[in-house]
Amino acid sequence: MIGHCGEALSVVGPSVRPINRKESGGRWRWRNLMHIDCGTCTVRGAACSGCVVTVLLGMPDRHVEWDDTEQQALNVLAASGLVPPLRLVTAIEPSQRQAG
């Protein structure tokens, strides 16, 4: 994924999972929930000062989860330069790597 200034952002595919969440009005809707665990970030420390998680929440004691709406809001804020983008980089297991 490429950020608003052309810099590479983290790939969050493995940390995004669908959940069924109840909305106002009592309807249930499937949403993607992004799971962010700073403890698994391979650039922790070096990239923390330029990461939206640290800017908004400080260094979290536990994982953070953002749904689709929250992710969209953070993308708008990052694209406008008001907050930095997500810098989470997780290690890829050898079995998950694509050939080529």
Would the pLDDT of 57 be above 70?
A: yes
- Average the pLDDT over 35-55 and give the result: 87
**pLDDT band, very low/low/confident/very high, at 88 (cuts 50, 70, 90):** confident
Mean pLDDT value across the chain: 75
Confirm if 60 and 53 have CB atoms less than 8 A apart: yes
**pLDDT band, very low/low/confident/very high, at 55 (cuts 50, 70, 90):** confident
31 versus 84: the higher-pLDDT residue is: 84
**pLDDT band, very low/low/confident/very high, at 15 (cuts 50, 70, 90):** low
1 versus 70: the higher-pLDDT residue is: 70
Q: For residue 55, what are the contacts with CB-CB under 8 A and spacing of at least 6?
A: 83, 84
- The pLDDT assigned to 9 comes to 52
Interatomic CA distance for residues 70 and 47, integer angstroms: 21
Half-sphere exposure of 86 (CA within 13 A, CB side): 24
Q: For residue 96, what are the contacts with CB-CB under 8 A and spacing of at least 6?
A: 14
- The pLDDT assigned to 58 comes to 87
- Average the pLDDT over 29-38 and give the result: 77
